[in-house]
Amino acid sequence: MKKKQKNYNLILGIFIALFMLLFLLAGLFYTPYDPDAMNGAAKFAAPGTEHLFGCDHFGRDILSRVMKGTGTTFFVAVSTVVLGGGIGILVGAFTGYFGGWVDEVLMRFNDVVFSFPHILLALVFIGVLGPGKYNVILALSVVFIPSFARITRGEFLAQKEMDYVKSARLMGVSHLRIMFVHIFPNTLPSVLSMAAIGFNNAVLAEAGMSYLGIGVQPPDASLGRMLSESQTYLMSAPWCAIFPGLCILLLALGFSLLSDGLLKKGGK
């Protein structure tokens, strides 16, 4: 009998994701210092017992700002996945299940949106709406809809021909119940994997937009903006960039491993 292999990507992904989740939850209730408090005497203070991650060019405690910034990035990423993923799942479910002209119209529109590079399309939306946390969420949600719609549609196309669906139809079960009670639970491995990938992409997109100055705006702390502000001091005060960059890396790595692990688990 073939020995069952452990899904190390899933295990490591869950561990990193939980660690970052605990880190940002701690930041909601406690930070060592006020993240926005400036202290000229502590300007560019190196990491030490008083400031574990050091201080930036305004004397602000980097650990406190990273804790708040991680929470901001997480909020943007989760909101993007919930909004964009929710709409995309509904579009994919209805087009995959009913087919016909509904499928043709919605999926052709979906293909048009999907044909544009995601970041470029998000930048266009931000250019129209203006910078800000909620505008970033709205822009990223719109460009994430096609990905979720395509995955969900494919799953529904495959599942609706299964015997259990045909039996439910013969028993007179309503279409909505068949879709969301019978079929949808069987699509969860693929949907959850797509959600993890979407979260990962949203983290990187938010950090990139904030780095360019068109994402999250002050006074909200942002990991991407912290990287942008610290690039001038990479040689003299590298800790200003190392710790925000490390948090972005861990968030992206954790959910990337999680998505890969979910795909492997679903493929068994």
On the question of pLDDT at 268 being above 60, the answer is no
When pLDDT is cut at 50, 70 and 90, the band that residue 255 belongs to is confident
> What kind of fold does domain 8-18+44-266 have according to CATH?
MetI-like fold (1.10.3720)
Instruction: Provide the b/e sequence for 70-106 (b: ≥16 CB within 10 Å).
Output: bbbbbbbbbbbbebbbebbbbbbbbbbbeeeeebeeb
In this prediction, residues 62-91 reach a mean pLDDT of 92
On the question of pLDDT at 266 being above 70, the answer is no
Note the pLDDT tens digit of each residue in 43-74.
989 999 999 999 998 999 999 999 999 999 99
Task: Using CB atoms within 10 Å of the CB of residue 3, give its burial: 0 to 12 exposed, 13 to 18 middle, 19+ buried.
Answer: exposed
CA distance 44 to 81: 36
What's the distance, CA 33 to chain centroid? 28
